[in-house]
Structure 1
Amino acid sequence: MVEVILRKDVADLGLAGEMVSVRPGYARNYLIPQGIALAANEGNRRRFEEERRQIEQSAAREREAATQLASELEGRSITFVRRAGEGGRLFGSVTSADIAEELEKEGVSLDRRVIRMDDPIKDLGVYDIPLRIHPDVEPALKVWVIAEE
């Protein structure tokens, strides 16, 4: 294991500014080349202390923007009208891309990757879909899937 200093928040690893232990290949092949982390040597520690203030300010701005977007999404629901067969089974499905596209039509720009769906929706019903806008901000969006007349 090697120690690195994270320059950005990484899901399931740590927040910006933390020193974490990772496997050497992960650090060498992904984290360091992508600029996500610095090797934890004395020179980089000093250099990072100067960057820490800027990173904390940008993280606070991102968290504020995510909180504002979450409050905008709170209580909002979207409806999909789809053809369905016997037993409420859809011909096709509703995916995270469909949800992102529908939100875009309503004026909310949201990347489909923040929509946390394990599997596409394949049945009629009402679903609470979690959104991970920021590691600290995870609102839910109500999705209605109704049958076409």
Structure 2
Amino acid sequence: MKIILTNEVPNLGAPGDVVEVKDGYGRNYLLPQGFAIGWTKGAEKQVETIKRARAGREIRDLGHANEVKGKLEGLKVTLSARAGQGGRLFGSVTATEIADAVKAAGGPVLDKRKIELSGPIKTTGGYQVQIKLHSDVTAKFNLNVVAAK
């Protein structure tokens, strides 16, 4: 079965890639989960749009990854979340919220799937967040979670 990936799938490809997979894997997993669309001549035209969107948020090379790492490590990121007594959060902080907080603090646009958390963030305080920018470059920055007023 020939499909076009719409999301990054580990060990298969990146968004916009046209890949050949077994029928069951495509029909029962990739298509229902929204990770891919069926390949047609019309859908082939959408590949360029998907690739352009990916290029906007992708780290181009090792030099660009080091540049982004420098920006991130000098950034002070504060995230406001609803909390109860004792600093315990209602829920937990997600990678999407962290990516949005970095952007709001003046940092670069990050892919939420590249953010690595050591565990769930469920209390207020300071945390070390790690993000894999490139196969050779990993950046660490401090995240301060505060209670929303």
Separation of aligned partners in 1, 2:133 and 2:107: 16
1:78–1:142 Cα contact (<8 Å) kept: yes
1:92–1:122 Cα contact (<8 Å) kept: yes
Separation of aligned partners in 1, 2:145 and 2:132: 21
Q: Residues 109-148 of structure 1: matches in 2 within 5 Å?
A: 109-148=109-148
Please report how far the alpha carbon of residue 34 of structure 1 lies from its aligned counterpart in structure 2 after TM superposition: 4.4
Please report how far the alpha carbon of residue 86 of structure 1 lies from its aligned counterpart in structure 2 after TM superposition: 2.5
Give the greater-gyration-radius structure (CA).
1
2:71–2:107 Cα contact (<8 Å) kept: no
Residues paired across the two proteins, number = 96
Please report how far the alpha carbon of residue 78 of structure 1 lies from its aligned counterpart in structure 2 after TM superposition: 0.8
For each residue in 1:12-43, what CA deviation from the matched residue of structure 2 results, as whole angstroms up to 9, or x when unmatched?
Answer: xxxxxxxxxxxxxx8xxx48x849xxxxxxxx
5+ residue gaps, structure 1, are 1-10, 12-25, 36-60
Q: Residues 1-149 of structure 1: matches in 2 within 5 Å?
A: 30=12, 34=19, 62-105=61-104, 106-149=106-149
Moved more, 98-107 or 70-79: 98-107
Separation of aligned partners in 2, 1:116 and 1:86: 28
Please report how far the alpha carbon of residue 75 of structure 1 lies from its aligned counterpart in structure 2 after TM superposition: 2.1
Please report how far the alpha carbon of residue 138 of structure 1 lies from its aligned counterpart in structure 2 after TM superposition: 0.8
Please report how far the alpha carbon of residue 99 of structure 1 lies from its aligned counterpart in structure 2 after TM superposition: 0.9
Normalized against structure 2, the TM-score is what? 0.56
Please report how far the alpha carbon of residue 107 of structure 1 lies from its aligned counterpart in structure 2 after TM superposition: 4.8
5+ residue gaps, structure 2, are 1-9, 21-59
Please report how far the alpha carbon of residue 128 of structure 1 lies from its aligned counterpart in structure 2 after TM superposition: 0.6
Normalized against structure 1, the TM-score is what? 0.56
Please report how far the alpha carbon of residue 132 of structure 1 lies from its aligned counterpart in structure 2 after TM superposition: 0.6
1:96–1:120 Cα contact (<8 Å) kept: no
Separation of aligned partners in 1, 2:81 and 2:102: 17
Separation of aligned partners in 1, 2:19 and 2:119: 30
For each residue in 1:117-142, what CA deviation from the matched residue of structure 2 results, as whole angstroms up to 9, or x when unmatched?
Answer: 14431111100101110121111111
CA RMSD of aligned residues (A): 2.5
Q: Secondary structure at the match of 1:109?
A: coil
Please report how far the alpha carbon of residue 80 of structure 1 lies from its aligned counterpart in structure 2 after TM superposition: 1.4
